[in-house]
Amino acid sequence: MVERKSTQAELEQAARRHLWLPFTQMREVEEDPPLIIAEAQGCYLRDLQGREYLDGVSSLWVTIHGHRKQAIDLAVLDQIQKAAHTTLLGLAHPPAILLAEKLAALAPPGLTRVFYSDDGSTAVEVALKMAFQYWQQSASGGATRSKTRFVAFRHAYHGDTLGAVSVGGIDLFHRLYRPLTFEAFRAEAPYCYRCPLGKTYPACGIACLGSLEEILSQHHGEIAAVIIEPLVQAAAGMITAPPGFLKGVRDLCNRHQVLLIVDEVATGFGRTGKLFACEHEGVTPNLMAVAKGLTGGYLPLAATLTTEEIYRAFLGEHREAKTFFHGHSYTGNPLACAAALANLRVFEEERTLESLQEKIDYLRQMLEEFRKLRHVGDIRQCGFIVGIELVRDRETREPYPWEERIGGRVCREAFHHGLFLRPLGDVIVLMPPLGIRPHELTRLIDIAYRAIQKVTEGIPCPSLPDRQAGGRRG
Ligand SMILES: *Cc1c(COP(=O)(O)O)cnc(C)c1O
């Protein structure tokens, strides 16, 4: 059967009529249909007309080495000739087995068991349910049954399913759904910039640990686990935690016999400069959720890693019903596992993390320039994760009114110059694929700088040399 080739107008029409996009006010899409991406290669996205855009946010934080990475393409093609999908409910297949082995080898020591799911949210759901069930079934009998609650940090984001929303702390996304969710304890976040305690870093970090300590010392008997985004609260606006914070959280959990769930969905697979953010502080969590970068940005796949100790609490006779009753139809999909294995092989073969260090330093140097811009209130960087916060007044740190959509306008401007960005409110996010080349990184920074300058200071943005489709890449 030959696919009907649709024109751009037809596709836009159909998009207006039938698409419902995530985190998007659809009235605006009805008036102004979305850009339609037909192809992607390396760090570039290409639309139907062949115009190219640098992918400045790794297609929402997932792409690792770049688009159409040959080794991953081939791994998926190879697997598709064997089987596109077979279930893990009662069966196994080589890619799932080999990937579990590989992840256990690469993860912080002690995380030996790998449970698959499909995306970051489900990996978090799995971690929450495992932590809960662990205490219900752990060897000490009934003594730990009361450990049923969770501690989450203010401004946290762990995904959009209801368990993940329960431990989420971003009002704009989560408040409406509160009647549907369970209540979690809220610890103060490592929020260095606009600290709710009115303190600045590093005093803030210490105060925040104090908030967690208070909760744990009073309520540890009812708490199953603490959940944290390590080093960076991503969706909150790339809020970086002070050094030692994660380690401090680990120590407090140990002291109060509470499990630690680390959500590495955004930070995993090299974004922070190490394979996992936990490595920066030598922390092993009891449970770790990974997703976004796991397949290099190819296919939806997630995993929740845990220890033998937790795993063993689920072993028992059939009649005891200690089984972990959880699994999705596509859990551990072979194509996705094959992509993930290839993704991890590229890390080794191309020494991705080694060459990344230089790029991280280069990025840091170039970001210094942004401090000259009048409306840049803060620049936060953790490896290849960057948040540039725009403010109306730098002295008072007065934010722009929400209605002004300053972040959105900057991204729109960048877009006209060939750079795709998606902001978090007034925070401009830069999260390029790790495989970006230095000259592409320069271009990305250049466009972002000019776009901020144009929108916030009204300084016209001289057009940059165009990068036409089919132009030389490299
Ligand atoms: C994106 C994200 C999630 C949710 O992942 P999805 O794949 O979008 O469900 C969870 N936690 C963190 C830290 C994230 O950044």
Nearest to 199 by CA among 187, 209, 208: 208
- Same domain membership, residue 139 and residue 269: yes
Same domain, 166 and 274: yes
Measured in whole angstroms, how far is the alpha carbon of residue 203 from the centre of its chain? 27
Q: In angstroms, what is the span from residue 266 Cα to ligand 1's centroid?
A: 6
> In sequence order, what are the beta bridge partners of 336?
none
Model pTM score: 0.94
User: Is 158 within 8 Å of 124 (Cβ atoms)?
Assistant: yes
- In the chain (474 residues long), the average pLDDT of successive 10-residue segments reads 75 93 92 93 96 98 98 98 97 98 98 98 98 90 88 96 96 90 92 52 64 94 98 94 91 97 98 98 98 98 98 96 96 98 98 98 97 94 97 88 94 97 96 98 98 93 53 34
| Beta bridge partners of residue 302, listed in sequence order | 117
Query: Domain check: are 223 and 305 in the same one?
Result: yes
Instruction: Evaluate whether 63 touches 436 at the Cβ level (below 8 Å).
Output: no
Cβ atoms of 421 and 56 closer than 8 Å: yes
Helix axes 438-457, 352-368, angle to 10 degrees: 30
CA 206 to chain centre: 25
Last residue of a domain, one of 319, 349, 379: 349
Domain shared by 135 and 40, yes or no: no
Distance from residue 298's CA to the centre of ligand 1 (Å): 16
Q: Give the pLDDT score at 471.
A: 35
DSSP state of 272: T
Rounded to whole angstroms, the Cα distance separating 451 from 414 reads 5
Domain that holds residue 212: 72-349
Query: Is residue 187, in this structure, part of any structural domain at all?
Result: yes
Query: Is residue 9 in a domain?
Result: no
Pocket of ligand 1 contains residue 451 by CB under 6 Å: no
Phi and psi of 443, rounded to 5°? -60, -45
End position of a domain, from candidates 299, 322, 349: 349
Q: Please name the residue whose Cα sits nearest to atom 11 of ligand 1.
A: 158
CA dihedral defined by 157, 133, 97, 100, rounded to 10 degrees?
Answer: 40
Residues 144 and 269 placed together within one structural domain of the fold: yes
Indicate if ligand 1 lies below 6 Å from the C-beta of 268: no
- Which CATH number do you get for residue 172? 3.40.640.10
394 and 368 co-located in one domain: yes
CB 315 within 8 A of CB 271: no
CA atoms within 13 A on the CB side of 382: 25
- Among 59, 155, 157, 229, the mutation site with the greatest number of ligand 1 atoms within 8 A of its Cβ is 157
- Please give, one letter per residue, the 3-state secondary structure of 315-377: CCCHHHCCCCCCCCCCCCCHHHHHHHHHHHHHHHHCCHHHHHHHHHHHHHHHHHHHHHCCCEE
Same domain as 290, residue 426? no
Residues 229 and 266 in one domain: yes
Tell me, in angstroms, the distance from the centre of ligand 1 to residue 467's CA.
Answer: 32
Examine the domain organization and report whether 126 and 255 are in the same domain. yes
Predicted local confidence at residue 280, as pLDDT: 97
> At 406, which helix (H) or strand (E)?
helix 406-416
Residues 51 and 196 in one domain: no
Number of domains in the chain: 2
Same domain, 58 and 78: no
The greatest distance separating any two alpha carbons of the chain, rounded to the nearest whole angstrom, comes to 72
CA of 235 to the centre of ligand 1 (A): 9
Domain membership flag for residue 26:
no
Ligand 1 atom showing the smallest separation from residue 264 Cα? 13
Q: Determine the pLDDT at residue 472.
A: 35
CATH of the domain at 392: 3.90.1150.10
Which of 457, 403, 453 has the alpha carbon at shortest distance from 428?
453
> Going by CA atoms, what residue is nearest to atom 6 of ligand 1?
120
214 part of a folded domain: yes
Distances from the Cα of 58 to the Cαs of 8, 18, 421, 441, 447, in angstroms?
24, 26, 9, 13, 16
Q: In 207-246, which ranges are E strands?
A: 223-228, 232-233, 239-240
Residues 115 and 257 in one domain: yes
Q: Kindly give the number of the ligand 1 atom that is closest to the alpha carbon of 160.
A: 9
Report DSSP state, residue 142: G
Rounded to whole angstroms, how far apart are CA atoms 196 and 192? 9
**Residue 461: predicted pLDDT:** 66
Encoded tokens for 202: 């590093």
Residue 426 CB less than 6 A away from ligand 1:
no
Instruction: Tell whether ligand 1 has an atom less than 6 A from the beta carbon of residue 264.
Output: no
Backbone angles phi, psi at 205, to 5 degrees: -60, -45
Is residue 275 one of the residues assigned to a domain? yes
Backbone angles phi, psi at 44, to 5 degrees: -115, 145
Tokens of 201: 């870093």
Q: Is the CB of 208 under 6 A from ligand 1?
A: no
In the reported structure, the alpha carbon of residue 128 is separated from the centroid of ligand 1 by a whole-number distance in angstroms of 14
Q: Please report whether residue 150 resides in a domain.
A: yes
440 lies in a domain?
Answer: yes
Residue 335 lies in a domain: yes
In this structure, what DSSP letter does residue 42 have? B
Judge contact between 371 and 387, C-beta under 8 A. Answer: no
Residue with tokens 């062949």: 50
Q: Which of 349, 384, 408 is the last residue of a domain?
A: 349
